[in-house]
Amino acid sequence: MPIHILYGEDEFLQTRHIEKIKNKLLSEGTQYLSTSNTSSTEAAAGQYSTLGLFGRKVVVLLQEKLSKEDWETINKSQTGDGQNIMVVRCVSNPDRRLKAVKNILSSGAEIKEYTLIPEWQTKQFIDLAQKLAQEENIDIDKEAMRALVDKTGHNTSRLISELHKLDSYTSGRLITKEAVDELVENNNNSCFQLADALLHGRTENAVTIYRGLIESNEHPVKISAIITTQFLTWLNVRAGIEEKCEDSKVLALCSITNSNRLYYLKKEVEQIKFARLVKIIEILAELDLAVKSSAEIEIIPFLIKICQL
């Protein structure tokens, strides 16, 4: 499959996927393999369709969202010789209604989703963690995995790192909860804890939690996405309270299936003004744009601004 499309916000798993592609090529006998990264669709298409003088190339195209024209350029670059590999890394799910995207997929392209799993969707993340452990040939029991996720949070990079440490410690034997409790530090500063601190205007607490997240290698884009999602949920719940909507309507609006969760969400925002939540969402929209536009953006001033509302 000469074209691989990886979409979603989990950059670590996307990078891991690319390394697996390269390792597979090398294991199949490729002697010379080069890698190039570009944000230009034209440049990526040109490199992908040009035969290398020495070996094969893995061309990585990095874009947040690809336009119709971008996909048409990629489609036209397909040579069919399978010499080079193109990996398209993007955040947005490709529009499969586009003729170019349909043609790329019908030509045998691989498409893989690597979206971030919200912190409250613990079961879904544990399922992913178990799958990742299997792919790494690491044996860990369910109780140990739950304990590990509690300590690492939904940080796939740290999860994989801790799994390998535990695997080395147990010499490849089954990893138990006792091993997790003994070896893995619980420094999981949850994005939800950060959102809660922002909701209640606890500036010092919010800044401390944020710095802990960064020290744990959480990406600012991921942090922004999670707290924005949480505040949008709170906003919808608060709107439902003010409009006296039926719980079923609020559940549908928030994409929540657990009525018990809605009960607690209502408790969390019952003393919060709707207008304040709207202003927070506006600031978070600015923050989201800023962190996606520049890796050097300073986030703490945004957090302080929210707390001061």
* pLDDT for the residue numbered 198: 94
* pLDDT for the residue numbered 1: 52
The DSSP-derived string for 182-203 is: HH-------HHHHHHHHHTT-H
* pLDDT for the residue numbered 80: 58
* pLDDT for the residue numbered 258: 66
Q: What is the pLDDT along the chain (309 residues), one digit of tens a residue?
A: 589 999 988 888 999 999 998 888 888 877 788 888 888 999 998 888 887 666 788 889 888 889 999 999 999 988 656 678 899 999 889 999 999 999 999 988 999 999 888 767 788 899 999 999 999 999 999 999 998 988 888 889 889 999 999 999 989 899 999 999 888 876 555 788 899 889 999 999 899 889 888 887 788 888 898 899 889 999 999 999 888 888 888 888 887 766 767 877 888 898 899 999 999 999 999 998 888 887 677 889 999 999 998
Distance CA 192, CA 223 (A): 9
Instruction: Judge whether 5 and 18 are in contact, CB under 8 Å.
Output: no
Distance CA 75, CA 101 (A): 8
**Domains in the chain: ranges and CATH:** 3-113 (3.40.50.300), 122-183 (1.10.8.60), 191-307 (1.20.272.10)
Distance CA 220, CA 213 (A): 9
Instruction: Judge whether 291 and 220 are in contact, CB under 8 Å.
Output: yes
* pLDDT for the residue numbered 29: 78
The DSSP-derived string for 118-129 is: PTT-HHHHHHHH
Instruction: Judge whether 259 and 247 are in contact, CB under 8 Å.
Output: yes
Nearest CA to 160 among 128, 190, 188, 185? Answer: 128
CA 147-257-231 angle, 5° bins? 75
Cβ neighbors of 89 (< 8 A, separation 6 or more) are: 6, 7, 14, 18, 60, 61, 62, 63
* pLDDT for the residue numbered 89: 92
> What is this structure's pTM?
0.64
* pLDDT for the residue numbered 4: 94
